[in-house]
């Protein structure tokens, strides 16, 4: 009799607290009955401490994290995507998401049979999870939602495990994505980038002006980053969680 092969569950780990807890809970629940793999799309524009967090999580998971990279962008640099596409962000979304995350996943899926996907959707993001199931993949295991875990719960679980959270959280950013996320239109967000990472702010301002992308919205009007005043404020910074299936609220 032919031995039955275990089905594969891919957990998409984005170096954030929620996806880390999703990976750990998936291993605990399905590790003996399924082939659980943890996959990350590396992006060099994230805070360097994300690499430390990833290594700490590998020890916690008891297994290595696999890298999935778009072979058209081996640099994993969002600036290279913007230069090649001559587009940064707008009504068609952000090409960094398409190229460094979605296309990287598609290429990975061509070479690896995946039966189920797990993402770091928490119970307070059920609408995002439902949109993903409807528009992207039906074979999602919403493990954090099933466990009724919030983002705050995930922070607590990480810290209880003795793992230091990524430095980017401590600097006031709500997620561990790229520094200077071009999907955010918030003056509050961009002025936080300017305060904590002035060189990155200036780099985004120069490239977006040259390409013609007005990334920030002030009082309902789109403006260039180099037009934003340090005193400009918007609402509370939104949670632009840039996982493998990144979208906006």
Pairwise CA distance, residues 133 & 129, whole Å? 6
Identify the CA nearest to 225 among candidates 247, 178, 193: 193
Note the pLDDT of residue 86.
95
Contact 95, 118 (CB under 8 A): no
Given a cut of 80, whether residue 3 has pLDDT beyond it is no
| Total-model pTM | 0.90
Structure tokens at 215: 């990334």
Cα of 248 vs its chain's centroid, Å: 12
Structure tokens at 219: 């009082």
Identify the CA nearest to 117 among candidates 128, 126, 105, 125: 105
In degrees and rounded to multiples of 5, residue 78 shows phi and psi of: -65, -30
Note the pLDDT of residue 238.
60
Stretch 115-136: mean pLDDT, rounded? 91
What is the helix (H) or strand (E) element at residue 73, kind and residue range? none
Given a cut of 50, whether residue 248 has pLDDT beyond it is no
Task: Report DSSP state, residue 174.
Answer: S
pLDDT tens track for 55-107:
999 999 999 999 999 999 999 999 999 999 999 987 778 999 999 999 999 99
According to CATH, the topology of domain 8-166 is Rossmann fold (3.40.50)
Stretch 133-152: mean pLDDT, rounded? 93
Identify the CA nearest to 10 among candidates 128, 126, 113, 150: 113
Pairwise CA distance, residues 153 & 141, whole Å? 19
pLDDT tens track for 205-234:
999 999 999 999 999 999 999 999 999 988
Contact 28, 36 (CB under 8 A): no
């Amino acid at each position: 009799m032919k031995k039955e092969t275990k089905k594969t569950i891919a957990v998409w780990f984005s170096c954030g607290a929620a996806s880390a807890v999703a990976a750990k809970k998936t291993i605990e629940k399905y590790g003996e009955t399924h082939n659980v793999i943890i996959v990350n799309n590396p992006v060099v524009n994230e805070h360097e401490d994300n690499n430390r967090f990833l290594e700490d999580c590998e020890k916690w998971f008891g297994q290595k994290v696999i890298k999935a990279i778009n072979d058209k962008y081996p640099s994993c640099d969002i600036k290279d995507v913007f230069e090649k596409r001559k587009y940064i962000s707008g009504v068609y979304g952000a090409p960094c998401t398409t190229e460094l995350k979605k296309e990287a996943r598609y290429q990975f899926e061509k070479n690896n049979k995946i039966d189920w996907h797990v993402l770091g959707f928490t119970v307070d993001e059920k609408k995002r999870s439902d949109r993903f199931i409807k528009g992207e993949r039906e074979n999602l295991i919403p493990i954090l939602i099933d466990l009724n875990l919030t983002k705050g719960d995930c922070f607590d679980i990480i810290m209880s495990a003795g793992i230091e959270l990524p430095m980017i959280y401590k600097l006031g950013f709500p997620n561990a994505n790229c520094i200077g996320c071009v999907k955010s239109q918030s003056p509050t967000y961009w002025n936080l980038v300017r305060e904590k990472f002035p060189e990155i702010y200036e780099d985004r301002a120069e490239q977006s002006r040259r390409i013609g992308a007005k990334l920030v919205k002030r009082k309902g009007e789109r403006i260039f980053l180099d037009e934003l005043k340090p005193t400009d404020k918007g609402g509370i910074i939104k949670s632009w969680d840039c996982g493998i299936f990144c979208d906006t609220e």
